[in-house]
Chain A
Amino acid sequence: MNGEELTEQETALYDRQIRVWGADAQRRLSKSHILVYGMKGTIAEFCKNIVLAGVGSLTLVDDRAVSEEALSANFLIPPDESVCSGKTLAELCCDSLREFNPMVRVSVEKGDLASLGAEFFDKFDVVVISCCSLATKKLINEKCRKLSKRVSFYAVDCRDCCGEIFVDLQKYNYAKKKTDGATECELQYPSFQEAISVPWRSLPRKVSKLYFAMRVIERFEEAEGRKPGEICIDDLPAVLKLKKELCEAQSVNESHVPDTLLERLVMGAKEFPPVCAIIGGTLGQEVIKAISSKGDPVKNFFFFDATDGKGMIEDISNPNLES
């Protein structure tokens, strides 16, 4: 046994999950520090999971005020008192999350995520962002990568019945379980910038269509100067036009990105609660794996679409990056 032992209180509370991932993983969890940004439904689900799991601390960043839309899939905010309270989204969610597990320190950090410096990010082991623009995703990912210690980075988004998780664990070592004991494995992850720059032509034909569709939407919102999710059915013609251009530039057939899928994503900028639960649950599991260095992590995208029900892992890495 290394490090401190779990207390009696921890053993009683975490009994059922220690039986899943072991006391050692539980100790690592209790010493980990998580940062999240973008307090919508998916992140609310994720925060619930990770607080219940018993991480050391969780820091919430989101200075936005409560809106109808922010409430739609978020069970952390009681609707009546929230609107006029003057509290930010992060502050409201923080109150609820603290109740879930008194052993986890849940706190709020104010400020604009993009302007927070390296010394801020250095405090965390895991950074999870949601509802961010393309530029912000790239920026935060790069900040995490420049730190002297390894920080696990996740970017997550849910639109309509679809969800996407991007994972960057940089150079990651973990114990892969085999029938007879465990073996050490090493994975090399590309950055977000590298991952979305992989030429579409080089990807296998059966790669999730959602990957392409999300890139089109991301680019559209960026080009139009929209906030993430600030899109509606009226934008569809322009989105389809952008899709055509991107497909041409990437020399792939337009059928790579079905119009019906783009239409769904454009119309349903709102999150669908069951998908938030599925994406937030999967993300929770991935973060627990990464903290405990146990179990095969997703490399490097996870996609779910409720219309076909598949939860797919896609490895979208630049082939030149292979080490």
Chain B
Amino acid sequence: MASLQHSQAIKGAKVLMVGAGGIGCELLKTLALSDFQDIHIIDMDTIEVSNLNRQFLFRQSHVGQSKAKVARDAVLRFRPHINITPYHANAKDSNFNVDFFKQFNVVLNGLDNLDARRHVNRLCLAAEVPLVESGTTGFLGQVTVHVKGKTECYECQPKPAPKTYPVCTITSTPSKFVHCVVWAKDLLFAKLFGDKNQDNDLNVRSNDAARSSEHAGDAFEWSGNEDLEQYGRGIYDHVFGYNIELALSNEETWKNRNKPRPIYCRDVLPDRMTQQNGNVDRTDDLSSASAMASLGLKNPQDIWCLMENTKVFLEALKLFFTNRRKEIGNLSFDKDDQLAVEFVTAAANIRAASFNIPLHSLFEAKGIAGNIVHAVATTNAIVAGLIVIEAIKVLKKDTESYRMTYCLEHPSKKMLLMPVEPFEPNKSCCVCSKTPLSLEINTHRSKLRDFVEKIVKAKLGMNSPLIMHATALLYEVGDDLEENEIANYTANLEKVLSELPPPVTDGTVLTVEDLQQEFTCNIHIKHREEFDEEKEPDGMVLSGWTQAPPEKKDGKTSIGNGASTSRSLPTKVGITEIDIEVKEISDGIVSPGTKRKLSEFSDGSTVDQSSDVDETRNNKKTQKHDDDDDLVMLDHWDGNMSKKRRSP
């Protein structure tokens, strides 16, 4: 094989990097060292302190500056003569259109969210530019190659949906700490500090809805001259005391559950806090930005007792109203907002205490609330190296040697880095194979707005959609719309499907298109009356974008199109349980390979270290032979097959 190192293809290549974060910094450095001369890099983010442990191109003094620009300057210090073009912008901006993508020989992703990955995937498909995609979580990582028509696209396998919880688990029956965090963040924090016009489930779910919201109206509004501690105690008693009493009155709920106990502020903290920490004189930034600092709590890894949580709750609330009153009404939870994290931690812990759930430290609560992805420099460095190797193969059009590679925490078949042949495009993929989808929906009850939000944006990942019923336009987003068009579309959004002009009913085919992504999709509408509130919370079910049926190809290098979530990249939210079926093909003899289970946790919970590699069984069946070019292959993934294999 011609050396990868001295490839002419590298010097002439123009590459686009999307993301200048953990993987991005490593990637830009490795590309520059490997003799790439023309690199463009997009990142909308600015530098934060928690980036510095791995994003080595950045320093403390760069905090707040554009990642793309600082990364460029840092790399030019050791490779002054190459061209790096930074864009401090969102990759989804309309100027990064298909024509923009077409100028590149290869696109390299170092992203941290599903949305942007899908967007870039579509643009690469439309521009016919190869994409090398990557992701890491802790010690786990993967690199995949997506070349239109040759390998599967990023969306050929349905991606696991972000983890959601049934509403009543959050509002009434939490059983895990994460439920309390979601409650504290999405309900309580949003109710107190967020947009007052937003729907909020904080009260409406209790048995006596009318009574409780009436009561709530009093408790949550601050009159403006009321003593802030008094106000805080009022909210405290309302959400941790009164609301729990109310919930307890519904005997049915607690038949098979442990009953929560109401907690009232006076029982935990009989005396007023009245500056007991002597911080009257302290007007430094720290104690006004942090309840912990003002209360003298130091270690974010400590678990506070109920009294400490109560103090933090009251103090944080007070600080919001005294120092950040202007922001109230527009705040949304941000993991980098210390005071917000403190408030949410305290509120989640008090609720946890009420439901007899173990309390957690601020450090842990922050990880859960912020969906913080575990990240270390080493995995990012390894993944960046693998990306460059694949990029060089792509530039050399060395199709046969493309690989997707997994970085494992525990070796499988003695491998820490496991290459696998890429999969063929999924023929039922609605993105790269244009397969139509079908949608079950109540056409008499669901509004066009529900369809746009829950399907077109959330499920199909479109930014600026256009919806057509035959030749009639139902909805469109764009800068160049006439006023009457905008009025028309806005009116349409509030109409139920069956009352749209023309009506959308059972059997209608809608065409949904994103002009920027050059992605079109046909959706067959099927009317359905009822949906299960817990299992189908969207009130609609999209299908058709499924795993391809197992289908064998000829020859040694055959691999399935079968779906396995293993190929999903760690997404920012949600837990991805991934199963890799590893098979070894030796002289045509297929041995039941190693079954390895990986868990990718990206939501702040601990990484599951379990590994059930059955080495002995594997060794026994492995044939010895001289050809060591054996490939590790992913099998067709099929629930039944894998069950059979599991029990020998």
Interface positions of A (Cβ within 8 A of B)? 5-6, 8, 11-21, 23, 41, 45, 48-49, 52-54, 72-80, 99-102, 160-161, 177-179, 205-206, 209, 255, 264, 267-268, 270, 272-278, 280-282, 284-285, 288, 295-296, 298, 302, 304, 306-314
Instruction: Give CA–CA (A78, B628) in the complex, Å.
Output: 42
- Closest chain-A Cβ to B218's Cβ sits at a distance in Å of 39
Besides A75-B32, A270-B5, 17 other A-B contacts (C-beta < 8 A): A12-B49, A15-B363, A16-B373, A45-B381, A52-B53, A75-B33, A160-B3, A161-B4, A177-B609, A209-B628, A281-B379, A282-B378, A288-B378, A302-B416, A309-B417, A310-B418, A314-B414
Q: A17-B54, A41-B33, A206-B624 are in contact. Are A284 and B378 (CB under 8 A)?
A: yes
For A179, list chain B residues within 8 Å (CB): 608-610
**Residue in contact with B372 in the complex, picked from A19, A72, A74, A209, CB distance below 8 Å:** A19
Q: CA of A11 to CA of B609 in the docked complex: distance in angstroms?
A: 24
User: Closest CB-CB distance, B498 to chain A, in whole Å?
Assistant: 49
A205 interface neighbour in B372, B386, B624, Cβ under 8 Å: B624
Chain B residues, CB < 8 A from A177: 609
**Quick one: which of A12, A16, A264 contacts B376, CB cutoff 8 A?**
A16
Contact A48 B59, CB 8 Å, known A273-B34, A281-B385? no
Complex-state Cα separation, A287 to B389, whole angstroms: 25
Interface digits, B608-642 against A, CB 8 Å rule (1 contact, 0 not)?
11100000000000001010110000000000000
Ordered by A's residue number, 26 sampled pairs between the chains whose C-beta atoms are within 8 Å are: A11-B300, A12-B50, A13-B53, A17-B53, A19-B367, A20-B376, A49-B377, A49-B381, A75-B29, A76-B78, A78-B77, A255-B626, A264-B3, A273-B34, A274-B389, A277-B29, A277-B384, A277-B385, A278-B417, A281-B385, A288-B378, A309-B419, A310-B415, A310-B419, A311-B418, A312-B416
Question: B residues bordering A, Cβ < 8 Å?
Answer: 1, 3-5, 26, 29-30, 32-34, 49-50, 52-54, 56, 59-60, 75, 77-80, 138-139, 298-301, 363, 367, 372-382, 384-386, 388-389, 392, 401, 403, 405, 409-411, 414-419, 604, 607-610, 624, 626, 628-629
B415: chain A residues within 8 A (beta carbon): 310-313
Residue of A nearest to B408 (CB): A311
Beta-carbon nearest neighbor of B60 in chain A:
A102
Instruction: Name A1's closest neighbour in chain B (CB-CB).
Output: B301
Complex Cα spacing A179 to B610, Å = 5
Give the residue name and chain of the B residue nearest to A21 (CB).
B376
Which 7 residue pairs are nearest across A and B when measured between Cβ atoms?
A311-B417, A277-B385, A309-B419, A273-B33, A177-B609, A281-B381, A281-B382
Beyond A45-B381, A52-B377, A282-B382, whether A78 also contacts B78 by CB under 8 A is yes
Which residues of chain A are near B629, meaning CB under 8 Å? 308
Question: Are A15 and B33 touching (Cβ within 8 A)?
Answer: no
Is A277 touching B30 in the complex (CB atoms < 8 A)? Answer: yes
Q: A274-B385, A306-B389, A311-B415 are in contact. Are A48 and B56 (CB under 8 A)?
A: yes
Q: What are the residues of chain A within 8 A of B298 when measuring CB–CB? A: 8
Q: Tell whether A278 pairs with B3 under 8 Å between CB atoms, given A15-B50, A79-B80, A273-B34.
A: no
Q: Are A310 and B417 in contact (CB under 8 A)?
A: yes
Q: Which residue of B lies closest to A288 (CB)?
A: B378
Contacts of A276 in B (CB 8 A): 33, 385
Chain A residues near B372 (CB-CB < 8 A): 15-16, 19
Q: Is A313 a contact partner of B78 (Cβ separation < 8 A)?
A: no
Complex alpha-carbon distance, A228 and B78, angstroms: 25
Within the assembled complex, what's the spacing in Å between the Cα atoms of A105 and B625?
51
Docked complex Cα distance between A102 and B411 (Å) = 34
Q: Check B78–A272 contact: CB distance below 8 A.
A: no
In the complex, chain B residues whose CB is within 8 Å of the CB of A41 = 33
